[in-house]
A and B are shown apart, each in its own frame.
Chain A
Amino acid sequence: MTESVGKVTEQIFKLPSDLLLECGKTLKNIELTYETYGELNSDASNAILICHALSGNHHAAGYYKDENERLGWWDALIGPSKAIDTNKFFVVCPNNIGGCHGSTGPSSVDPETQRYYGPDFPVITVKDWVNSQAQLADHLNIKCWHAAIGGSLGGMQALEWCRLFPDRISKAAVIAAAPKLSAQNIAFNEVARQAIITDPDFQEGKYLDSEKSPKRGLRLARMVGHITYLSDEAMRDKFGRELKEGKLNFGFDVEFEVESYLRHQGDVFSESFDANTYLLMTKLLDYYDPAENYKGDLVKAFETIKAKIMVISFSSDWRFSPERSKEIVNALMAAEKDTTYLEIESSHGHDSFLFAEGRYVSALTAFLGN
């Protein structure tokens, strides 16, 4: 493994103007927490926007205090001489509005009421995110991104950048994404939301004012979500039917390794993530559909695009399968846009986009470099 970008610090940007949201409401006093890696060149032509997915945040690479701590979520791909090379590019990764890692979201205090937004935080959309990211770009003097890159929900943001600001983006890598969610995708999200909402500690979303929070619900939501991020093959390879104690105990405690893993993932997540944010993010995913205003015609929705777009899918991803990525590719080609498509063999399921594996890395490097 190559070296990381090293020690990083998060920064805060206060949006100079209010944001008129797609839902019709206006959000004021917005703050975006973000990180940058590498140096912006003199003509500001080497900037890359990293868009995070459902439960991601602005800490995409490097570490805060020492290298033994957990590295940023995309450290495998962002860094010196890595796929997204910080020796060449100025990389920007914001935590999105509605998040719970510093940017204004349901767990922030509304400066006007001095109370937590909680369940009153407006439902935001991918478009709203892109509009807020555009203000961040202005602040950083970036007129045109060299590229926007994202996996899953991040890929949808990259695509939306191309649609909404055709003159402000040259390239986009849309990875492990879909043009909209399927009924099955929405169904999984609804199970996650129900797990949270039916937790008695949810208290209609106003749990931040009390001692308790819906950790059990959030934990369940994450466990369900996590299953959809892995492939059957990855789970078989990682856990098989291995028993923790080597024998059946004829009870309902943790016996199989996979149970232990899922519980651990759920525990960690429920301690560090905000339940209202999770509700918001899943809703935002459900709503995403660029063709909605074009009578379902994705080709028309893509008409404004000028950027070169590379779409990447992974063979074992069943959350957003290669077929879903091809829907984007076929519509882009029908709209006569510069399109490249890769279908990469990988066993990690939807999570494949997080791993720096062979052809995926070289394709990203080549795409960003030419």
Chain B
Amino acid sequence: MKTLEIINNWVTQNSSVLDLGCGKGEILLYLISSKDIKAVGVEIDGSNINECIASGINVIEQNIDEGLDNFIDNSFDVVIMSQTIQVLKDPRKALQEITRIGNDCIVTIPNFGHWRTRLSLLLTGKMPITDPLPESWFDTPNIHLCTLEDFELLCSETSIQITQKISFNSSGHSNAFTKAWPNLFGASAIYKISK
């Protein structure tokens, strides 16, 4: 899994990591074994939470949409938000909050500017349904999709620095095309950002 390896490279040994929308805790477990991190996950789904508990991961049941003000400024070395920002009610607020809480933040997003998405909309005239975004417009949890351009614009408007960026094609690889034209050939991207 490419993104997991990149996240692993961007996290330093023994650091404290908060994973917002941690799911079953896959990323945190990986980082615990490879980097001996101090891990905290935030999750809303009951069965995911139970999986985290069974794996011994500290997990907090909390709805990110209801705010993160219970987390103190700069209380984590790294805050991870993987494939989560597009389901939130207020992505701008979320970005401001995670960069307040973490010294560094790692965000992964699906790219709505990918050529397949663009082509699908152009040719069919319907909301694109693709492998990374398989749901119909009316039942998708992704209420705030954006392109990589959009995301970067929002970062700059909110004075958030992008310190690293890697985009991947649909099979999860980074190649010459995704490097040269990330917003066209990247199906998703991973960013390291900070205040």
Contact = CB atoms under 8 A, between A and B. Distances in A.
Interface stretch (A44-52, A212-220, A325-333): A325-333
B50 A359 contact: yes
A363 B58 contact: no
Interface residues of A, number: 21
Contact of B60 (A333, A334, A336): A333
Given A330-B70, A333-B40, A334-B75, A369 B59 contact: no
B44 to A, nearest CB: 10
16 contacts: A326-B70, A333-B40, A333-B70, A334-B72, A334-B75, A336-B38, A339-B58, A339-B60, A340-B59, A341-B62, A342-B61, A362-B50, A363-B53, A369-B54, A370-B53, A370-B55
Given A333-B60, A370-B55, 4 more contacts: A333-B75, A340-B52, A342-B49, A366-B54
Interface residues of B, number: 20
A322 to B, nearest CB: 9
A370 B56 CA distance: 6
Interface in A300-316: 308, 310
A359 B59 CA distance: 14
B70 A310 contact: no
A366 B16 CA distance: 24
Contact of B61 (A341, A366, A369, A370): A341
Contacts, number: 47
A345 B59 CA distance: 17
Nearest to B57: A340
B177 interface: no
B60 A329 contact: yes
Counting chain A CB atoms within 10 Å of each CB, the highest count among B54, B55, B61 belongs to: B61
Given A330-B70, A333-B70, A333-B71, A366 B53 contact: yes
A167 interface: no
A308 B54 CA distance: 13
Given A330-B70, A334-B75, A340 B53 contact: yes
A343 B53 CA distance: 14
B134 interface: no
A67 B51 CA distance: 35
Interface string A170-196: 000000000000000000000000000
